[in-house]
Amino acid sequence: MLLADTVGRTLREAYSAAPAGVKRLGRQTTARDFRAKHRIQFSAAPTLEPVNEHGEFKAGAMAEAQESYAISTFGRIIGMTRQALVNDDLGAFADLSRRLGTASAQFEAQFLVKLLLSNPTMSDSLPLFHASHGNLAVAGTKITQDALSAARLALRKQAGLQGELISVTPKYLLVGADRETEAEKAITAVQATKIGDGNAFTFLSVVVDPRIDDGSWHIVADPAEIDGLEYAYLEGEAGPQLTSELGFTVDGMRIRVRLDFGGGFVDHRGWYRNAGA
């Protein structure tokens, strides 16, 4: 049990330290069970209209939409013999726990990037990034001032379920490792000698995820402002959970790592994609 506690602490530390770019742009929630988790979206309240001289109020309505996803269970079992534990003078046992923690974090990151790059179908039967959603560049381009301007305009013009204006403020520039330098240059402040030479996009923060390997880049709103990418853990069990078992017929120990995790896009309005060039 002492060994299991040590492994558990090391696993959690490694899990927390592992970087994950796309995960930073999602919102963490919990799920009570493994059934589909439904996220309901409501439109804004109907616009107020004048009341006529007879005091008659007109009825209004609100629209609603729904997206859903479910969590699943993932895990592995690692076994070590008693001799291996006794002979572990090089810290291999502790290194195993660090590797398991890193592997768990890497799995989550890859899960979310794969989801993003798959351009999943939303409840309206359209892909996440689609011309009808107003969040897909007409043609792939490099990260230029004009391309960033078009992306910002597309997010600013996003409308709610009944065509009402909503607040979508670009905050992040998400890129793969091959576009990191290009992205940094695109948002770097310059000493302008005239108005036209300034950089209007220094407010963006670059987020790099090397798992994005298709050359695309994305402009993303703050997940605290508008729904977008959402991921969930089973309630009360956030992150990888460790269980150990001492052998009886086999002289050794088995460690089981379990992760109850899932994610999905619950709204398209806070994400914009340019396929790159």
Question: The CATH number of the domain where 149 resides is what?
Answer: 3.90.1690.10
Judge whether residue 55 has pLDDT over 80.
no
Residue 254 in any domain: the answer is yes
pLDDT at residue 90 in the model: 58
Q: How far apart are CA 40 and CA 237, in angstroms?
A: 24
Overall number of domains in the chain = 1
pLDDT over threshold 70, residue 8: no
pTM reported for the whole predicted model: 0.83
Q: Mean pLDDT of all residues in the chain?
A: 86
| Closest to 221 (Cα-Cα) out of 233, 209, 208, 203 | 203
Task: Estimate to the nearest angstrom the gap between the alpha carbon of 214 and the chain centroid.
Answer: 17
Residue 195 pLDDT? 65
**Backbone phi, psi, residue 132, to 5°:** -70, -20
Separation of alpha carbons 273 and 176, rounded Å? 13
Contact predicate 252/80, CB 8 Å: yes
Domain that holds residue 254: 2-36+70-274
pLDDT in tens, 105-135: 999 999 999 999 999 999 999 999 999 999 9
Task: Look at residue 1 in the predicted model and tell me its pLDDT.
Answer: 46
- For residue 165, the 8-state DSSP code is B
Q: What percent of the chain has pLDDT over 90?
A: 55
Does 166 score more than 90 pLDDT?
A: no
The whole-number average pLDDT for the span 207-211 is 96
Packed helices 92-117 and 2-17: angle between N→C axes, nearest 10 degrees: 40
- Rounded to whole angstroms, the Cα distance separating 33 from 15 reads 23
Residue 65 falls inside a structural domain: no
Q: Which helix or strand (DSSP H or E) is residue 174 part of?
A: strand 170-175
At 53, which amino acid appears? E
Residue 18 belongs to some domain of the structure: yes
Q: 270, 223 in Cβ contact below 8 A? A: yes
**Is residue 192 one of the residues assigned to a domain?**
yes
- Cα–Cα distance between 123 and 52 in angstroms, integer? 40
Domain for residue 74, yes or no? yes
121, part of any domain: yes
What are 61-110's pLDDT values in tens digits?
666 677 889 999 999 988 877 777 676 665 666 677 788 888 899 999 99
Q: Which residues contact 105 (CB under 8 A, 6 or more apart)?
A: 14, 15, 16, 18, 20
147 occurs within a structural domain: yes
- Domain membership of residue 41 (yes or no) is no
